[in-house]
Amino acid sequence: MTKARAALFHEVGDSEVLRLEQVDVPEPGPGEIRLRISAFGLNRSEAMFRQGWHPVKPQLPSRIGYEAAGIVESVGQGVTEFAVGDHVGTLPIMELNPYGAWGELMIVPVHWATLTPPGLDALESASLWSSYMTAYAGLVDLVSIKVGNYVLVTAASSSVGPPAIQILKMLGARVIATTRGRTKGEAIRAMGADHVIVTDEEDLVRRVNEITGNAGVQFVFDPIGGPAIEQLTKITAPYGTIILYGVLSFDPAPLPLGDVVSKNLNLLGFAMMLEDRPERNARAIQFIRDGVKTGKLRPLIAKSFTLDEVVNASRYLDSMQQIGKVVVQVDHA
């Protein structure tokens, strides 16, 4: 056992329930590596886990976090994929209880880790795999987007929004992005979105109709759900597809069956589960590596914090002020 600092919570609640504590981190078992964490990314699903809203319920006291970048410190029996000293990042682990990226050390099964692409620093590596694999799964593997298709990306300033925009531009799509505030809107346009709709000031349906000449969008990429589903069905073109990759709204989501049936709409939901699609994961990793190598994919860091500031980092994520990824850098000095 090795002692290390990690963020834990002993009760569900807001960011104030987090505490930095000393924990015992074991030696890696068969098929595992122990990662000396250099940085970790924060995700909305982790906030839901901490609050008790996630489908996976915390086993208290609980560590938290599944997305990290670091250096392999030791390897378990039978591990040939990695060696001590390798720089790796974790893939989007959905078993939230056994692990914990918010800290100095973590155990990672080898099938949930991959080598860091050349040219990325620790903060960028810790911001890469979860968001980009989610965007890839929904926009490349799940559907077939053609050059010139209109795609609406909602919540475009979130951690998945910038990767989605970058990937869509690689595919030749025309991106319409939504955000609630004008300040974020300017930043999203700078990321490459063709059109930005500020929903606190503009009518979504009217603006999409203006942009598309009343034709609607062929695809919607949405992590929110809730009452906005009614608007999304109105602006989706006949035979179009609404891709739901999250449920950030806890309000009921009325389904306008008239639009769905009369317009032959497809509603596709997915969760980024690594276990059930290993062939998709391999395609995603290669696609992302290729995009990083060509410079077409690059993580956008909203703000970075130190490990001592992890509660503030979590508060910042909860505030929804960020444009891109919230990251914590871990200093082992």
Q: DSSP per residue over 170-218, as a string?
A: HHTPEEEEEESSHHHHHHHHHTT-SEEEETTTS-HHHHHHHHHTT--EE
CATH of domain 131-269: 3.40.50.720
CB 40 within 8 A of CB 327: yes
Task: Please give the helix or strand (H or E) that residue 313 lies within, else none.
Answer: helix 310-319
pLDDT of the residue at 55 = 81
Whether residue 261 has pLDDT greater than 60: yes
The pLDDT of 274-281, averaged and rounded, is 72
State the residue for tokens 């690689």. Answer: 170
* Percent of residues, the chain, with pLDDT higher than 70: 97
Kindly report, residue by residue over 25-42, the tens digit of the pLDDT. 999 999 999 999 999 999
Residue 271, class by beta-carbon neighbours within 10 Å (0-12 exposed, 13-18 middle, 19+ buried)?
A: middle
Cα–Cα distance for residue pair 20/6, rounded to 1 Å: 5
pLDDT of the residue at 273 = 60
pLDDT of the residue at 94 = 59
Sorting pLDDT into bands at 50, 70 and 90, what band is 127? very high
The pLDDT of 104-132, averaged and rounded, is 94
The pLDDT of 260-286, averaged and rounded, is 84
pLDDT of the residue at 186 = 81
Cα–Cα distance for residue pair 308/303, rounded to 1 Å: 15
pLDDT of the residue at 252 = 83
* Percent of residues, the chain, with pLDDT higher than 90: 74
The pLDDT of 162-187, averaged and rounded, is 91
Q: Which residues pair with 34 in a beta bridge?
A: 74, 107
Whether residue 242 has pLDDT greater than 60: yes
pLDDT of the residue at 323 = 86
More confident residue, 210 or 1: 210
The pLDDT of 155-162, averaged and rounded, is 90
Sorting pLDDT into bands at 50, 70 and 90, what band is 191? confident
| pTM for the predicted model, two decimal places | 0.92
Q: Which of 85-94, 116-125, 202-211, 265-274 has the lowest mean pLDDT?
A: 265-274
Tell me the CATH number of domain 2-128+300-329, given options 3.90.180.10, 3.40.630.30, 2.60.34.10, 3.30.230.10: 3.90.180.10
Whether residue 97 has pLDDT greater than 70: no
pLDDT of the residue at 173 = 98
pLDDT of the residue at 321 = 83
The residues spanned by each domain of the chain are: 2-128+300-329, 131-269
CA angle 41, 46, 47 (to 5 degrees): 110
Sorting pLDDT into bands at 50, 70 and 90, what band is 217? very high
Kindly report, residue by residue over 56-79, the tens digit of the pLDDT. 889 999 999 999 999 999 999 999
Q: Which of 36-40, 110-114, 174-178 has the lowest mean pLDDT?
A: 110-114
> How many Å separate Cα 274 from the centre of its chain?
14
- Which segment, 133-147, 186-200, 267-281, is predicted with the most confidence on average? 133-147
